[in-house]
Amino acid sequence: MSNGLSSAQPATAVPGNIFLVGLMGAGKTSVGRLLAKRFNKAFYDCDQEIERHTGVKIPVIFDIEGEEGFRAREAAVLRELAALHDVVLAAGGGAVVREENRRVLKQNGTVVYLRASLDDLWQRTRHDRNRPLLQTADPRARLEQLFAQRDPLYQEVATLIVDTGSQSLRSLVQQLEQRLREHFRSAGHVQQDHV
C-alpha cells in the first residue's frame, strides 16, 4: 500500500537548500523533518541549534538577554546553517524580522512560507510554555500582533507560499514536495535569486 511518498524520483529533483519560515506553530519542524528525509537532505531546526550552542533553553536566553540578545544569537546561527549545502532548515518564527536574515535566506536557498490561519496557530501553541513571546496576559492578542507584523515579511522572503490548513502532515509534505518539484522544473533547476 502506497503512502503517497514513493521514492521513485531522485532527491536531486529538488536541488540546494530549503528554508522553512512561518509563525510558531506553523509546522516548520515537523514538515522539515519529513521533507529532509524525503529529499535525502540533512535537517536542522534553528531554535534547537541555538539551544545546542548555548546549552540552555530559549526561554532562559530571553530571560537573561532579552529578545534582542536572542535575535543576535539567532542571526549568527542562521548564517552558519544557511552556508551549509543540501539542508532543510526550520528557521525561527522571528528570524525574518531582521533584514540581514531575510537576505541570507533568499541568497542561500529556496524559501517556503508555511502559512497557517491564526486559529490553527493558536490551537497549536496555546498550551506551549516554551514560547517566550506568548507568555503575556493575552497570548492570543500577542499572536495576532506577531502575525500582522511578520506575515508581510514571510511573503517578501518566500519563493513559495503553502497554506497548511487542516490537512495531515503527510498530505502537507506531499503537496509541498509537488510544489517544489514544479518550481524547479519551471525554473530549469536554476535557483531563483529574487522574489
Domains and CATH numbers, the chain: 15-175 (3.40.50.300)
Phi, psi of 63 (to 5 degrees): -60, -40
Average of pLDDT values for 67-76?
A: 94
Residue with cell 528525509: 37
Output the average pLDDT for the chain: 85
The C-alpha cell of 179 is what? 510544489
d(CA 23, CA 114): 8
Mean pLDDT of 113-120: 88
Check residue 13 and give its pLDDT: 61
Closest by Cα among 81, 72, 22, 24 to 49: 81
- Residue 15 has a pLDDT of 85
Name which of 115, 139, 117 is nearest 127 in CA terms.
139
Average pLDDT, stretch 65-82? Answer: 95
pTM of the model: 0.85
- CA 175 to chain CA centroid, nearest Å: 16
Percentage with pLDDT > 90 across the chain: 56
Are residues 123 and 23 in contact, defined by beta-carbon separation less than 8 angstroms? Answer: no
Per-residue model confidence (pLDDT) at position 6? 42
- Residue 95: the pLDDT is 95
Phi-psi region of 51 (alpha: psi -120 to 50; beta: other; left: phi over 0): alpha
Measured between alpha carbons, how far is residue 29 from residues 26, 52, 109, 183, 184 in Å? 9, 16, 17, 22, 23
The whole-angstrom separation of Cα 155 and Cα 99 is 13
CA 102 to CA 104: how far, in whole Å?
6
